Amino acid sequence: MQVTSNAGQLVTQVLAGEVWPPLGDRHGFRVDPDGHAFLLPGMGGVTLGAHCGDPATGYAADHLEPGLSVRHRDPAANYALQYLTCVGNTVVVTTGPAAGSEGFVIGQHAYVLVDMPEETLRSVTAGDQVTVFAVGQGLALLEHPAIKVKNCSPRTLAALAGGTAPDGRLRVHVAARVPAEAIGAGAGMASEYANTDLMGAYEVGGEELSLGLHSLRIGDVVALADTDHRYGRGYREGWLSIGVISTGSGRLFGHGPGPSTIMSGPADAFTIIDDPGANLAVLAAVLPQKEHA
Partner 1 sequence: MTIDVTPPGLGIDATPAGLTSEATSAALRLVAVNLAATVEQASVGSDPYRIDADGAPYVPVGDGGIVLGVRLGDGVWQHPADHAAPGACLVHPDPAAGYALAAQACVGNLVTVRTGAAAGRTGVVVGKRGEGGRVIATFPQDTLRLLRPGDQLAVRGRGTGAGDPVPGVAIRNIDPALLALLPVTAGSEALDVGVRAQLPSKLVGNGIGRPTPMWDLDLQLTPGTARRYDAAGLRLGDLVAITDLDARFNAGYRRGWVTIGLVVHGGSPQPGHGPGVVALLIGPAGLLRASADPAGHQGLSEEAALDAVRDLQ
Q: Does 109 bind partner 1 (CB under 8 A)?
A: no
Q: Does 25 bind partner 1 (CB under 8 A)?
A: no
Nearer to partner 1, 67 or 200 (CB): 200
Q: Does 183 bind partner 1 (CB under 8 A)?
A: yes
240 contacts 262 by C-beta, under 8 angstroms: no
Q: Cβ neighbours of residue 285 under 8 Å, at least 6 residues apart?
A: none
Q: Does 65 bind partner 1 (CB under 8 A)?
A: no
Concatenating the DSSP letter of every residue in 149-173 gives E-SB-HHHHHHSSEEE-TTSPEEEE
Binding mask 196-235 for partner 1 (x = CB under 8 A): -x-xx-------xx-x--------------x-xxxxxxxx
Nearer to partner 1, 34 or 118 (CB): 34
Nearer to partner 1, 21 or 205 (CB): 205
70 contacts 19 by C-beta, under 8 angstroms: yes
Task: Provide the pairing of β-strand 129-134 with 90-93.
Answer: antiparallel
Q: Does 33 bind partner 1 (CB under 8 A)?
A: yes
Q: Cβ neighbours of residue 5 under 8 Å, at least 6 residues apart?
A: 139, 140, 141, 142, 149, 154, 157
Q: Does 116 bind partner 1 (CB under 8 A)?
A: no
User: Judged by CB under 8 A, which of 125, 187, 214, 215 binds partner 1?
Assistant: 187
Kindly report the backbone phi and psi dihedral angles of residue 269, in degrees, each rounded to the nearest multiple of 5, phi listed first: -90, -10
Q: Does 254 bind partner 1 (CB under 8 A)?
A: yes
- Nearest Cα to Cα of residue 150 among 109, 110, 190, 92: 190
User: Judged by CB under 8 A, which of 61, 70, 185, 223 binds partner 1?
Assistant: 185
In the 8-state DSSP scheme, what is residue 182? G
User: Judged by CB under 8 A, which of 8, 23, 26, 35 binds partner 1?
Assistant: 35
Nearer to partner 1, 33 or 96 (CB): 33
User: Judged by CB under 8 A, which of 124, 132, 252, 262 binds partner 1?
Assistant: 252
In the 8-state DSSP scheme, what is residue 27? T
SS3 call for 215: coil
Distance CA 283, CA 89 (A): 10
Nearer to partner 1, 96 or 179 (CB): 179
Binding site for partner 1 (CB under 8 A): 31, 33, 35, 179-189, 197, 199-200, 208-209, 211, 226, 228-237, 252-255
